[in-house]
């Protein structure tokens, strides 16, 4: 048996004004430490896998951005779901993901923002954590006249279905660090937590989200 699970789940690979992984480079270096010399990159989220791999290699780190449906389908097609779960949850191999790579680390990809450009055999994902994440979470803009559904409304619709897990809306520039049974919000923006049947709540970087790893109810204030 390896060590406890270690996950770094990032909302986005790029932030306005910065390069690929630039906004979270220090977090990545801290997460990996000095002993990690090789990183396995899974480029299935984009069509041009070679170019995507080159981008990650040039940056010396790897994360999974791109389209969530494409990534999950490729994981199923290549029989990697069970293998990744085993390596992360049993062997203690660190897992990093961004955007699509963060989506597939959760219970399901039901709360992704991506279009279903391909059809995976299931929406159930790796299940490395017992809740869902909505990367690139956007707040409603009251100044815009766009009448489409807000991100919050879509998540509320998801929670109209029975037995749906919590959803953590990660704004760009934010990430969740999971170490064993401890989960901490990191980054520069913040997150919005959605629990079925309850009003969403706002959380700043530094928030302890460990309760999400064991149950769906936040601790009493």
Q: Of these residues, 11, 62, 98, 99, which one is catalytic? A: 99
Residues 169, 202: Cα–Cα separation, whole Å: 10
Q: How far apart are CA 104 and CA 1, in angstroms?
A: 24
Question: Of 27, 136, 210, 216, which is the active-site residue?
Answer: 136
End-to-end CA gap in the chain:
36
Count CB atoms within 10 A of the CB of residue 140.
12
Q: Do 184 and 8 form a contact (C-beta atoms < 8 A)? A: no
Write down the catalytic residue from 13, 23, 108, 114. 114
Q: Yes or no: say if 166 and 131 are a contact pair by the CB < 8 Å rule.
A: yes
Catalytic site residue 114?
Answer: yes
62 an active-site residue? Answer: no
Judged by DSSP in three states, 146 sits in coil
E-strand ranges in 32-150 read: 95-98, 132-134
Active-site positions read: 99, 114, 136
């Amino acid at each position: 048996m390896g060590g406890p699970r270690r996950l770094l789940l990032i909302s986005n690979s790029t932030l306005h004004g910065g390069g690929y992984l630039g906004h979270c480079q220090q977090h990545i270096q801290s997460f990996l430490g000095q002993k990690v010399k090789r990183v396995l990159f899974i480029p299935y989220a984009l069509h041009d896998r070679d170019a995507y791999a080159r981008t990650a290699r040039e940056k010396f780190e790897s994360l999974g951005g791109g389209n969530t449906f494409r990534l999950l389908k490729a994981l199923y097609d290549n029989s990697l779901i069970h293998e990744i779960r085993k390596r992360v949850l049993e062997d203690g191999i660190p897992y990093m993901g961004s955007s699509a790579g963060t989506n597939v680390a959760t219970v399901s990809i039901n709360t992704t923002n991506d279009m279903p450009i391909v059809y995976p055999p299931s929406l159930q994902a790796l299940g490395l954590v017992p809740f869902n994440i909505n990367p690139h979470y956007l707040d409603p803009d009251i100044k815009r006249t766009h009448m489409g559904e807000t991100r919050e409304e879509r998540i509320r619709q998801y929670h109209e279905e029975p037995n749906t897990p919590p959803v953590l809306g990660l704004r760009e520039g934010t990430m969740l660090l999971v170490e064993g049974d401890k989960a901490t919000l990191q980054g520069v923006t913040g997150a919005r937590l959605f629990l079925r049947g309850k009003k969403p709540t706002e959380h700043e970087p530094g928030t302890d989200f460990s309760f999400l790893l064991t149950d769906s109810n936040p601790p009493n204030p």
